[in-house]
Amino acid sequence: TRRVAPLNVIDISASNDLTQVAVEFQGTEDADLTGSKQIVHWVMRDATRTMTIGAGSTLLGMQQEGQTVKWTGVVDITAGGTILPKAGDFVGFYVTGYDAAGNQFPVVSNSEASPIPELASDDTDFERQWVRLGAVGPELQIRNIVLSDDHIAPGALIDVRADIFNAGGSTTAQFKVAFYAGDSDEPFHVARVVGIDAGETFPVYTTWDSEDVDRIRVVVDAENEIPEANDDDNTAEHAVTIAYARTRRDHRLCPIPRLV
């Protein structure tokens, strides 16, 4: 028996319904399976595959032509909303049931400990038995925030660079990057990024007319225009220290080259 779907990665971004994950398995069986029930079981484990996070099962549909059997179904890997799938976790699948003669399905490479594998020709991540949860679509992160000076005087013009990294697939739409001072709800600068490729780091530059605050905050995809698997890493902060009295507005400290 081999797993046809899902393969390699299950996209856990907001654009994919994890309560309706399509599964398909193919195998061979000498006995007639007509009238018998087969059930697919799934088990979710952490990144080390040693701790079980959750499990569930559902009835499969079956089509048999001679000795070739195809099973299809839909599973809810959130277990009714009780599980929050996270990137880096793994899901394995196995099928149980009986043939018309009452013989139980074999458990070799078909069990909780040893899930049904995909074919080697389908494998792209060197893991055939377990399906990784991750981002097939874009996965935007803020890798770094750089200021021309961390010790500021209110009123000084400070150059700011935010490095945006895409850990998932290429974006298909534009998105905004917003810069905030302290706890302010109003950004002091908003930049629109046309797109970013998979694995690309894209720097966004601005100048901050510094204020008496202890940090600046940067939010990528500030208006949630890009469906992502994980929005928790869309925000980052950089601490600043008020070290001088108010200075003239045209004072510039160690300027960083700005994006034109």
Rg (CA), the chain: 26
Q: Do residues 57 and 127 both lie within one domain?
A: yes
Q: Do residues 199 and 105 both lie within one domain?
A: no
Q: Do residues 93 and 183 both lie within one domain?
A: no
Q: Fill in the DSSP letter of residue 169.
A: S
More confident residue, 177 or 101: 177
Q: What is the pLDDT of residues 127-157, one digit of tens each?
A: 999 999 987 788 899 999 999 998 888 889 9
CATH number at residue 180: 2.60.40.10
The verdict on residue 32 lying in a domain is yes
Query: Quick one: pLDDT band at residue 245, thresholds 50, 70, 90?
Result: low
Q: Do residues 83 and 109 both lie within one domain?
A: yes
Query: Residue 258 above 80 pLDDT?
Result: no
Closest CA to 174 of 195, 189, 188: 195
The verdict on residue 191 lying in a domain is yes
Q: Do residues 177 and 67 both lie within one domain?
A: no
Query: Residue 254 above 90 pLDDT?
Result: no
Instruction: Give pTM, 2 decimals.
Output: 0.65
Q: Do residues 228 and 123 both lie within one domain?
A: no
Q: Which of 134, 155, 174 is the last residue of a domain?
A: 134
Q: Do residues 63 and 187 both lie within one domain?
A: no
Q: Do residues 119 and 17 both lie within one domain?
A: yes
**So what's the pLDDT on residue 259?**
44
Please give the Cα distance from 83 to 21 (Å, whole number): 14
The verdict on residue 250 lying in a domain is no
Q: Fill in the DSSP letter of residue 69.
A: E
CATH number at residue 44: 2.60.40
Query: Quick one: pLDDT band at residue 244, thresholds 50, 70, 90?
Result: low
pLDDT average, residue stretch 26-46 = 88
The verdict on residue 110 lying in a domain is yes
- Residue 63 CB burial class (10 angstroms; 0-12, 13-18, ≥19): exposed
Q: Domain count of the chain?
A: 2
Q: Do residues 155 and 70 both lie within one domain?
A: no
pLDDT average, residue stretch 110-137 = 92
Q: Name the average pLDDT for the chain.
A: 89
Instruction: Tell me which residue range forms the domain holding 172.
Output: 140-242
Query: Residue 247 above 90 pLDDT?
Result: no
Q: Do residues 111 and 152 both lie within one domain?
A: no
Query: Residue 255 above 70 pLDDT?
Result: no
**So what's the pLDDT on residue 29?**
82
pLDDT average, residue stretch 90-111 = 89
Residue 82, token pair as written in the block:
């009780």
Strand order from edge to edge, sheet including 61-65: 2-5, 21-28, 68-75, 61-65
Q: Do residues 97 and 209 both lie within one domain?
A: no
Q: Do residues 52 and 129 both lie within one domain?
A: yes
Q: What is the pLDDT of residues 48-70, one digit of tens each?
A: 999 999 999 999 999 988 889 99
